[in-house]
Amino acid sequence: MKRSGKLALWGGAVAAALTIASAAHADDFKLNYEAPGVENSTATFSTVGVETFDTLSAGSYSSISATFGNTGITGVYTGPKGVQINPADQYGGAGGTGNYAVAFNANPYTLTLNTQVNYFGYWLSALDSGNVVTFYNNGVQVGQATPDQVSAVTKLNSAYYGNPNSGKFQGQNSGQPYAFINFYDTTGTFNEVRFSESPAAGGYESDNQTVGLFTKMSTASAAVEAPIPLLGASPVALAVVAAGFVAMRRRGAAPIAFSRGVVAAA
């Protein structure tokens, strides 16, 4: 469960760094966030499907098979200790009902798809400083996103903080943000997505996991982020750049500065 870790928000969007984590092969990912309280993507797609986890019973599964609508896209969720599915509570569960998936430090999980896609999105709830999502193309790491704690933010958007769902969970866990996040691979594709918690700060809760082929990015977000290009990186180094820039729509708003650092191997 979530107990700590606050990710600062700027100009109406969650601030997170997109990390290009493999010098040998790195795609150009972009990401943005839906407006506060929106729990599904508003991007445009030629093909798209969603996994809500609501047809499952809460518990731990050795593997979970998923069918993403009538798209022909299927997937299998696996983890070294199974895949944990929890009932909706203050920490997760889109709409405040049904179930959500959660990864812990000792129990990450991976979604392996039957085909290549260029989009992945999900309802990211109770975000903490250990939440890490990594993208692979046939086993080759092509990108990674980690929360980046921003220490000096003068314009905090409180609308993202706390569980937004009506009912008994509304407003609970007010110290952490909830947002739907869109990832767009603009130069390549991927077929594996791994959720993990490192360092341990709670769990990585997500719901409404969405895959497909995007044709137009969502415009609901107040910020768009992109990776800083790899410059002079050694192919031997697994993790090279942890950075992103924020193109703010809001006139006069300065971009968030992101830290650089080494990311542990997946």
Condensed to tens digits (0 to 9), the pLDDT of residues 164-180 reads 999 999 999 998 889 89
187: β partners: none
223 pLDDT band (50/70/90 cuts)?
Answer: low
Residue 8: what pLDDT? Answer: 40
- Is the confidence at residue 39, as pLDDT, over 50? yes
pLDDT score at 10: 35
Q: Judge residue 241's burial from the number of C-beta atoms within 10 Å of its C-beta, 0-12 exposed, 13-18 middle, 19 or more buried.
A: buried
pLDDT of 148 above 90: no
**Model pLDDT, residue 25:** 63
pLDDT (tens digit, 9 = 90+) per residue, 45-59?
999 999 999 999 999
Instruction: Tell me the residue type at 219.
Output: T
Q: Over 80: is that where the pLDDT of 242 sits? A: no
pLDDT bucket at 157, cuts 50 / 70 / 90: confident
Highest mean pLDDT among 195-204, 217-226, 256-265: 195-204
**Cα–Cα distance between 167 and 88 in angstroms, integer?**
11
What does the alpha-carbon distance between residue 202 and residue 86 come to, in Å, rounded to a whole number? Answer: 14
The most confident of 2-6, 92-96, 139-143, 222-226, by mean pLDDT: 92-96
pTM as predicted: 0.78
Question: Cβ(104)–Cβ(115) under 8 Å?
Answer: no
Predicted confidence (pLDDT) per residue in 96-109, tens digit: 999 999 999 999 99
pLDDT at 18 > cutoff 60 = no
Residue 119 CA to residue 49 CA, distance in Å, equals 11
pLDDT for res 221: 64
pLDDT at res. 219 = 86
* Residues with Cβ within 8 Å of residue 143, at least 6 apart in sequence: 18, 19, 20, 21, 26, 27, 29, 134, 135, 183, 185, 190, 227
